[in-house]
Amino acid sequence: MPLNSDISTALQLLEHIQHTIDCSDDVKLQAQTSEDLNLLIAVLENPILRGIVTVQSTVSTRNIVRYSQNIVRYSLCTTNIST
């Protein structure tokens, strides 16, 4: 599930950025970014978002499989007709 993987990667990057900013001496930067980073991290950690992404990925995978099966069936039908 690439989208779940992308979300996990984005979450790790945001947490790293947050840690780097928190360790800096730039109080103004901390004040300007803290709320936004916390919100983004909370959204990416949200189990509802993860559930939606999982369902979407599953539906997409099933649609790809069905589409592939239809192509194979069509190819077999046209092969049988032409022989």
pLDDT at residue 81, as a whole number: 62
∠ CA 70-76-82, nearest 5°, is 135
Shortest CA distance to 11 belongs to which of 38, 51, 35, 30?
38
Q: How far apart are CA 55 and CA 44, in angstroms?
A: 16
Q: How many other C-beta atoms are found inside a 10 Å radius of the C-beta of residue 77?
A: 10
pLDDT at residue 64, as a whole number: 81
**What tens digit of pLDDT does each residue of 15-71 get?**
999 999 999 999 999 999 999 999 999 999 999 999 999 898 888 887 787 878 778
Most confident of the following: 27-31, 70-74, 76-80: 27-31
pLDDT at residue 12, as a whole number: 97
Count of positions (residues) in the chain: 83
